[in-house]
Amino acid sequence: MFIFLYGEDTFRSLQKLREIVDEYKKIHITGLNLIYFDCQNVEFTEFENAVQSVSMFQEKKLIILRNAFFNTDFKEKFLKWASEPRGVQSKQSFENIIVFYENQAMKKTDSLFKFLKTKAKLQEFNFLTGRKLQDWVNKEFEEYGTKIEFGARECLINFVGKDLWQMSQEIKKLCAYKKTDKIVKIEDVELLVIPKIETDIFKTIDAIGLNNKKLALFLLRKHLAKGDSPLYLLSMINFQFRNLLSVKDFMEKQGNTYGRVKIPGMHPYVAQKSCYQARQFGLEKLKKIYQKLLLTDMEIKTGKIDARMALDMLIIGI
């Protein structure tokens, strides 16, 4: 029996691999016939001997192969071995469970991929997006007996993106923080989760502060060309300008023009990053920019303007 797990979302693919291993261990308690091979560092004969050898306890073997696609010699010999008549191989070879695991997208034209597509139980793990990611986040919170408000969930997804390794850790942290009332709100996410704001977003905001619209437009289009969603970019710019406004207001009230600030309800990392940028703007200018951001967001979501055009107009109009 062949199983083939592959894809870029290693969080879910490894989760599935662990499920297979755990199910095997429930039946085969000794675990003596659970075998791992990194095919980049193993000869095909080692794999073949492991498959053909007779188990002392008459157990099925669970053999997990990683990087089989990246050892040409191993791959060619495996395909030849797998295509031989069953009489050449022991019956036990076909009773064993052989799992191919690859932590990336695979070429559909690869000879081994074509073989496994027809012979294996195949499961691809692409990064989750849209509704699927929202449902996954909701389910994870439910596992901890906690709920997350709609706005907080969208904020969390904007901050973390498709990295389920980080998302899983952030959810654990939020659930531990809200162990009393069990409802995660947007202010909890903003307090505890460090957003993945890319360097170009900070550069874009710097360019806006220096009134360098040409550079700001160039950086935005660079993100769009890379495939980033206009609404994602707007949400990140919105988030950062809201922080800048809070930092600037706090600094002026405290008479703190150059030093670091600690703002209640704001993650220290975010406050530190925002402190330098806030000095490039006057308070009134920040208020006007933030109002334009809110208006742009509303016009996009109500369909009054195309998202890409709205971003261009936003930068040009600041």
* Structure confidence by residue, pLDDT tens digits, 162-217: 899 999 999 999 999 998 899 999 989 988 987 776 656 778 877 777 778 888 88
Q: Residue 221 — φ and ψ, nearest 5°?
A: -70, -30
CA nearest 65: which of 103, 32, 110, 98? 98
Say how far apart CA 51 and CA 20 lie, in whole Å: 18
Q: What is the pLDDT of residue 94?
A: 53
- Hey, what are 64's tokens? 């997990």
Mean pLDDT for all residues in the chain = 85
- Hey, what are 66's tokens? 């990683």
For residue 129, count other CB atoms closer than 10 A to its CB.
12
Handedness of CA 52, 57, 62, 68 (dihedral sign): negative
Q: What is the pLDDT of residue 87?
A: 41
Q: Is 22 within 8 Å of 141 (Cβ atoms)? A: no
Q: Is 144 within 8 Å of 44 (Cβ atoms)? A: no
* Structure confidence by residue, pLDDT tens digits, 99-135: 999 999 999 999 999 999 999 999 999 999 889 999 9
* Structure confidence by residue, pLDDT tens digits, 237-288: 888 788 888 888 888 877 665 556 677 667 776 777 777 778 778 888 888 8
Architecture field, domain 130-192? Orthogonal Bundle (1.10)
| Model confidence at 64: pLDDT above 90 | yes
Structural domain spans, the chain: 2-124, 130-192, 199-317
CA distance to 46, 99, 113, 194, 245, per residue, from 42 (Å) = 7, 16, 20, 41, 58
Could you tell me what percent of the chain has a pLDDT over 70? 90
Say how far apart CA 25 and CA 28 lie, in whole Å: 5
pLDDT band with cut points at 50, 70 and 90 for residue 86: low
Amino acid at 17: L
CA nearest 159: which of 147, 145, 173? 173
Q: What is the pLDDT of residue 257?
A: 54
- Hey, what are 265's tokens? 């309800």
Contacts of residue 86, Cβ cutoff 8 Å, sequence gap at least 6 = 94
More confident residue, 228 or 220: 220
DSSP-derived pairing of the beta strands 147-148 and 34-38: unpaired
Handedness of CA 39, 40, 42, 43 (dihedral sign): positive
Q: How many CA atoms lie within 13 A of 69 on its CB side?
A: 21
Say how far apart CA 70 and CA 75 lie, in whole Å: 8
* pTM across the whole model: 0.66
Q: Is 292 within 8 Å of 314 (Cβ atoms)? A: yes
| Model confidence at 58: pLDDT above 80 | no
Q: What is the pLDDT of residue 88?
A: 43
Instruction: Write down the CATH number for the domain with range 199-317.
Output: 1.20.272.10
CA distance to 29, 174, 263, per residue, from 112 (Å) = 32, 43, 56
The residue with tokens 């330098």 is: 276
Q: What is the pLDDT of residue 198?
A: 61
Q: Is 38 within 8 Å of 47 (Cβ atoms)? A: no
The reply to whether 199-317 shares the fold of 2-124 is no
Q: Residue 144 — φ and ψ, nearest 5°?
A: -100, 10
Distance of CA 34 to the CA centre of its chain: 30
Contacts of residue 250, Cβ cutoff 8 Å, sequence gap at least 6 = 256, 261, 263
Say how far apart CA 243 and CA 237 lie, in whole Å: 10
* Structure confidence by residue, pLDDT tens digits, 212-225: 888 888 888 888 88
Say how far apart CA 184 and CA 123 lie, in whole Å: 33
State the average pLDDT over residues 86-105: 72
For the chain, state the CA radius of gyration: 27
pLDDT band with cut points at 50, 70 and 90 for residue 56: low
Q: Is 160 within 8 Å of 126 (Cβ atoms)? A: no
2-124: CATH superfamily: P-loop containing nucleotide triphosphate hydrolases (3.40.50.300)
